[in-house]
Amino acid sequence: MSPKKKISEKYPLSVDVGAHSVKMLQLTSTPRGWIIYKFARKEIPFFLAKHERESFINDALKKMFTEHKFRKVKASLVLPGSEVCVRTFTIPEMTEQEIPEAVKWASKRYIAYPLEEMVLSYSVIGQIVEQGSKAIKIVFAGVHRDIFDKYTGYLRGLGLKAASVTISCFALRNIALANDIMQNRSVALVNIGYSGIDISVFENNNLVFTRNIAEGGAGFDEAIVEQVSLSGSKLKVKPDKAQAFKHSFGFVLGSTDEMYENIAAADISAALNNHLDRVVRELQLSFSHYKQLSHGGEVEEIILAGGGSRLINIDRVLSARMSMSVNLLQSPISLEPEEELEFSAFSVAIGACLEEGQNPDLIKDIEVASRRGVSGRSDILKNFIIFFFALMVFILEILGVVSFYSRTQSPLLRKK
């Protein structure tokens, strides 16, 4: 299914820099809808120091952009959810012009840094009635300017400008909107990344609760490395092999004698279940928080996305543990090179390409916009004053010239 609204860019481009890999994807429009135009992915080595990692990412992006011949357009940039503060709250009813200042003051409850060090953005979800008074519901996003500058610097290194700056939960929301799977329902989009998991609950298409936990895909790898076999000996799986094992076996349903490089599938499945226990506890805790905030709201369905959702049978096992419907996020566009492209790995990048301006966009920093508004008014006044004085000086100079000419031409002066 294609997105219902038109996107202005004919070749929308997105850049998604994750903890474990960097991805670049570009769509193109056809009479049949959006299709994949170009895509590329490069894994980031584990052992890199901070400065080495930054250099590796910049070099990888430049190489991907050049070798795959992406079209040079403004790009949608995805920031890690763990780096961005996202909250929903209400403010009293007010004019549209007053909202940015109110959001800035309300956001102080959630951010630890001075406002001048933050990049802030928001979207209006809608109007509600609280205790008999009208209020405006807001979804807010804020990121430290150093983080913002670091990630937008990746685009500058490519000679690109940012079309939008978003995070994974909003990118995945774009896909869910295109698939029309959240209307009049309470749905949790759970993005299983390598370093963490983003849990985002939506009611009737709008974000109402979000939380980031550290139990990501790396936890499954660590569980395999630390796993003791059913016979009582350690599996002796090296960290660099753990990923291959988890994706080869996944979660085993029932009994099996299957082996891979002298490792039993049952042992791998047991390790994955050990880590999944922690994930389930965090999900239950998150949904309990959501229930308190929403005064009794219940999540009706979990939709899994991200690289961790590729684990075989994870949806079925998690559904049994959580006693609710669990499904995998489906692509809203045609995946013609699907034999090469893994939708779960590129879902966030695809969602970022489908941005239609309905989510908070950190490129539209309200702090900067506020300063522009104030400085804009002061600049107008300053320019008027400068123009006024310049005009007065000009007039006085003209009058001085005329006066001097009149005096030099008078009969009295000539007589002297």
Q: Which tokens is 150 given?
A: 């670091």
Is 237 a domain residue? no
Pick from 203, 105, 182, 169: nearest CA to 306: 169
Is 120 a domain residue? yes
**Contact yes or no for 173/190 (Cβ under 8 A):** no
Assess whether pLDDT exceeds 70 at residue 204. Answer: yes
Read off the CATH number of the domain in which 163 is found: 3.30.420.40
Which range marks the domain in which residue 347 is found? 13-222+263-362
Is 106 a domain residue? yes
If pLDDT is split at 50, 70 and 90, which confidence band does 409 have?
very low
Is 391 a domain residue? no
Runs of H (alpha helix) within 135-167 = 145-157
Whole-angstrom Cα distance, residue 344 to residue 303? 12
Which DSSP helix (H) or strand (E) runs through 134? strand 133-144
Percent of the chain having pLDDT more than 70? 83
Q: Which tokens is 260 given?
A: 């891979």
Assess whether pLDDT exceeds 60 at residue 375. Answer: no
Nearest 5°: phi and psi at 290? Answer: -60, -40
Give the CA radius of gyration of the chain.
29
pLDDT at 377: 45
Q: Is 192 helix (H, G, I), strand (E, B) or coil?
A: strand
Is 400 a domain residue? no
Is 3 a domain residue? no
pLDDT at 55: 94
Q: What is the mean pLDDT of residues 303-322?
A: 94
Burial class of residue 231 in the structure, from the number of CB atoms within 10 Å of its CB (0-12 exposed, 13-18 middle, 19+ buried): exposed
Q: What is the mean pLDDT of residues 406-413?
A: 42
Q: Which tokens is 57 given?
A: 């990412």
Report how many domains make up the chain: 1
Assess whether pLDDT exceeds 70 at residue 219. Answer: yes
Pick from 402, 382, 380, 384: nearest CA to 392: 384
If pLDDT is split at 50, 70 and 90, which confidence band does 336 have?
low
Is 316 a domain residue? yes
Is 389 a domain residue? no
Range of lowest pLDDT (85-94, 155-164, 242-251, 365-374): 365-374
Q: Residue 33: which region, alpha, beta or left (left: phi > 0; alpha: psi -120 to 50)?
A: left
Q: Taking the model in full, what pTM does it have? A: 0.81
pLDDT at 19: 83
The average confidence (pLDDT) of the chain is 83
If pLDDT is split at 50, 70 and 90, which confidence band does 399 have?
low
Which positions ≥6 away from 303 have C-beta within 8 Å?
A: 176, 181, 187, 188, 189, 190, 326, 327, 328, 329
| Neighbour tally for 70: CB within 10 Å | 22
| Neighbour tally for 285: CB within 10 Å | 13
Whole-angstrom Cα distance, residue 108 to residue 115? 8
